[in-house]
Chains A and B, each alone.
Chain A
Amino acid sequence: MLKLNQVSKSFVTKQGEISILENVNLHIGAGEKVAIVGPSGSGKSTLLSLIGLLDTPTSGEIVITGESLANLSEAEQAGFRNEKIGFIFQSFELISPFTVTENVMAPLDIAGEKVNQESITNLLDDIGLNNRKEAMPRTLSGGEKQRVAIARALVKKPAIILADEPTGSLDRSTGEKVLTMLLEAVSDSHTTLIIITHDESIAKRMDRVFEIRDKGVYERN
């Protein structure tokens, strides 16, 4: 499903070239739930942005659902993100001028797909926000915002969901509820979930855990 072959990433700064990841090899199967852990600055976010096509590797190859991401044009990258990847961010990142429904529908709009209102209603029902479907993001609580973000990530039925500290901005109780909802949703849809976290209790609920250290990615036994 997801393969990283000898992937490296470095940045050129005024102080010289800084290497973040070196020769990373990774293989994650369809429907797997994976946690990536590691200290701050170890390269977790860089890895996520490479998998999510928000950045390109310095060398190596990334393959998702059998398709190599190398040499994709900017438009092709955008199309691939829309089709195959769902994002969930720590700071929710809802589109501020859009209502709850419009935020959830945005990936479909962007793809130019016809919106099935019934499926949107069902999705909002699943996340318990059908009564707030016309609300603006600024009027929602943190938990509600993250639930909208989850619905938006799921609406296109992507192959992979990339979640960057999805409960990092929520209190423990709300975070627990949101995580449970996310895990149930990906299990039901057989979607691969890659989650970045500092929280060991979250990592333990995943099928596999990878740790980033010394510029490499290693699976915990």
Chain B
Amino acid sequence: MHRSATTATPGRAATSAALALALALAWLAWGATPARAQMIMGITTNSFTPGSSTNSLDVTLTNTGTSPTTIAGFSFEITAASNNVTFEDVTVNTVSVANIFAGNSLFGPDIKLNVSNNGQTISGADNFATPYGGTTLAAHQTLGLGNVLFTLSPSTPLAPINITFTPYPTSSVSDPNANNISVGVAAHPQFGPTSVPELPPTALVVTGLLLGVGVSLRRLGLAKLLTRLGSH
């Protein structure tokens, strides 16, 4: 029995209560949080070239749960946090993963709904063509909802751009019986240049040592060569 926990001083008890309340409020504010939802919408960058109009990203849906779930319809809306981006279109031609309704899209190939906010916001929606049909997303499987085409201004920095998903009901998923399926968003969704993996510090040290050794050996070899040449 941890009686000591219940006999804390009033000040500490008040602090604990305040902390508990804050945590509870944070939990409530979290609401439809990404982590709790089984279905997660995310972003995958396919191409990102400043000055080009042929860039694209995929909006994806991942089943993070442990049971398969069948999807019959979806909608999403994304907003880029940069006016260097101009969204142009949404199609079913996802690149990074297969399209969720491949061969059974009701509205494809073009599934764009609206472009607004000077091209920084775009939405798309599609449905499984056959009534009461759908595509089953296995546990941990990811499929593509839409391929979003966009233009980047020439001055776009080579850095990730944050994305915001408009919440329910604008971004939503339904099952074959037209029930809503709770959907969340990947943490900090963004798109941008494919990042070059950074070397860990130890690797940098090893690389530096190898370079140093290499230079030393080369100098040694050069000295020996000069010595031989001199002896002749």
Binding partners A and B: no
Contact residues of B with A, CB < 8 Å? none
